[in-house]
C-alpha cells in the first residue's frame, strides 16, 4: 500500500507526498528494528533469570553433598604438625596413633569439587555476556579464576607424590584387624610408626617437610575457592531475593 502510494506520488510529481511516504517507510523500518531489539532484550533477561535460578540450584546441590573437607584437613594438619614437633625437635615422645596416621596420609591433597556445570557451559558457549547483573557476573569470574588456579595447583602438587609408607617401608607397617571386611589401612588407624628410626632418617624428614609445605599451600588455594563459591552464592541470593544460611567452609 505504501509502495503504491509512493509510486503514485512520484508519477504525479507530488514531492511533498513522496517525502511523507519515505518518512513513513523509514520510521516503519526503525520501529521494526527497535521492537526486535526490545524482544531480544526481554528474551535475554528471561534467559538470565533461568541461568541464575539454575546456578542457585547447583550451588545448593554442591553444598548439600560435599563433606566438611576444611575441618577434616585442619584435623589432619594439626596431627601432622604435632608429629613434626616430636620428630624434628629434641624429643623422646612417641607418636600418637592419629599422628602416625597423619604421616601415612601426608601426601594426600584433595578436596571435593566445587565446579558448577552451568558456569562451564556459559564459558564454553560464550554466553557469559547474558549475565548482566554486575555482582553475579563478577562473582562468577572470580570463582572461575579461583577454580582454574586450584586445578593447576592440584596438578602441580600431585606431579611428584612423596608417599611416605611405601618410600620408607622400614618406618611404617600396617596392622590388619581381626576382621578386615572394611579395612581402610591408610586412614583407619591401622598404621604403626617407628618413631626413633624416623628421627634418624633425614630423607624421610625432608620428604615430610615437603609434604607439610605442599599441604599448607593446597589448603590456602582451596580456601580461596571455597571463599569465591560462598561469595557467588551470596550474590545469587541477593539477585533472587533469597535469605538463608550460607555455608562458609
Ligand atoms: Zn541461596
- Kindly state the cell numbers that stand for 180: 578386615
Closest CA to 150 of 227, 218, 62, 206: 218
If you measure from the C-alpha of residue 239 to the centroid of ligand 1, how many angstroms do you get, rounded to a whole number? 10
If you measure from the C-alpha of residue 54 to the centroid of ligand 1, how many angstroms do you get, rounded to a whole number? 11
Closest CA to 87 of 242, 237, 206, 183: 206
If you measure from the C-alpha of residue 107 to the centroid of ligand 1, how many angstroms do you get, rounded to a whole number? 35
If you measure from the C-alpha of residue 44 to the centroid of ligand 1, how many angstroms do you get, rounded to a whole number? 23
Confidence (pLDDT) at 242: 93
Alpha helix ranges (H) inside 1-133: 2-11, 15-65, 69-88, 97-104, 117-125
Q: Per-residue pLDDT for 26 more than 60? A: yes
Instruction: Give the percent of the chain with pLDDT over 90.
Output: 53
If you measure from the C-alpha of residue 153 to the centroid of ligand 1, how many angstroms do you get, rounded to a whole number? 29
- Kindly state the cell numbers that stand for 208: 615430610
Q: Per-residue pLDDT for 6 more than 80? A: no
Confidence (pLDDT) at 190: 95
Q: Per-residue pLDDT for 248 more than 50? A: no
Confidence (pLDDT) at 211: 95
Average pLDDT (179-206) is 92
pTM for the complete prediction?
0.76
Digit-coded pLDDT (tens) for 171-189:
999 998 888 678 999 999 9
If you measure from the C-alpha of residue 243 to the centroid of ligand 1, how many angstroms do you get, rounded to a whole number? 7
Digit-coded pLDDT (tens) for 142-152:
999 999 999 99
Confidence (pLDDT) at 109: 81
If you measure from the C-alpha of residue 69 to the centroid of ligand 1, how many angstroms do you get, rounded to a whole number? 20
Digit-coded pLDDT (tens) for 205-237:
999 999 999 999 998 998 899 999 999 999 999
Q: Per-residue pLDDT for 19 more than 50? A: yes
Confidence (pLDDT) at 180: 67
Are β-strands 191-193 and 172-174 bridged in parallel, bridged antiparallel, or unpaired? Answer: antiparallel
Q: Which residues pair with 173 in a beta bridge?
A: 192
Digit-coded pLDDT (tens) for 71-110:
888 899 999 999 999 999 887 899 999 999 999 999 998 7
Q: Per-residue pLDDT for 246 more than 60? A: no
Confidence (pLDDT) at 13: 81
If you measure from the C-alpha of residue 30 to the centroid of ligand 1, how many angstroms do you get, rounded to a whole number? 42
**CA of 106: how far to CAs of 76, 77, 122, 174, 218, in Å?**
8, 8, 37, 16, 12
If you measure from the C-alpha of residue 187 to the centroid of ligand 1, how many angstroms do you get, rounded to a whole number? 34
d(CA 105, CA 224): 23
What does 98-125 look like in DSSP terms, one character per residue? HHHHHHHTTT---------HHHHHHHHH
What pLDDT band is residue 245 in, cutting at 50, 70 and 90? low
If you measure from the C-alpha of residue 58 to the centroid of ligand 1, how many angstroms do you get, rounded to a whole number? 10
Confidence (pLDDT) at 105: 95
Closest CA to 76 of 207, 243, 218, 196: 218
Amino acid at each position: 500500500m505504501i509502495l503504491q502510494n509512493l509510486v503514485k506520488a512520484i508519477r504525479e510529481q507530488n514531492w511533498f507526498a513522496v517525502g511523507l511516504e519515505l518518512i513513513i517507510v523509514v520510521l516503519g523500518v526503525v520501529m521494526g528494528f527497535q521492537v526486535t531489539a526490545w524482544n531480544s532484550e526481554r528474551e535475554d533477561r528471561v534467559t538470565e533469570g533461568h541461568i541464575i535460578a539454575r546456578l542457585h540450584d547447583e550451588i545448593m546441590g554442591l553444598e548439600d553433598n560435599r563433606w566438611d573437607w576444611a575441618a577434616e584437613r585442619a584435623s589432619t594438619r594439626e596431627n601432622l604438625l604435632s608429629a613434626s614437633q616430636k620428630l624434628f625437635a629434641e624429643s623422646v615422645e612417641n607418636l600418637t596413633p592419629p599422628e602416625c596416621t597423619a604421616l601415612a596420609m601426608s601426601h594426600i591433597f584433595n578436596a571435593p569439587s566445587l565446579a558448577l556445570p552451568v558456569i562451564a557451559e556459559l564459558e564454553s558457549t560464550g554466553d557469559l555476556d547474558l549475565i548482566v547483573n554486575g555482582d553475579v557476573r563478577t562473582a562468577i569470574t572470580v570463582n572461575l579464576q579461583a577454580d582454574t588456579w586450584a586445578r593447576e595447583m592440584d596438578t602441580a602438587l600431585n606431579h611428584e607424590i612423596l608417599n611416605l609408607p611405601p618410600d620408607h617401608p622400614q618406618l611404617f607397617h600396617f596392622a590388619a584387624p581381626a576382621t578386615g571386611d572394611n579395612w581402610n589401612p591408610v586412614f583407619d588407624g591401622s598404621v604403626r610408626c617407628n618413631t626413633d628410626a624416623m628421627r634418624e632418617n633425614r630423607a624421610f624428614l625432608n620428604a615430610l617437610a615437603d609434604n607439610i609445605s605442599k599441604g599448607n599451600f593446597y589448603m590456602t588455594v582451596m580456601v580461596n575457592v571455597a571463599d569465591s563459591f560462598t561469595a557467588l552464592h551470596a550474590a545469587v541470593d541477593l539477585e533472587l531475593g533469597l535469605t538463608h544460611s550460607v555455608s562458609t567452609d
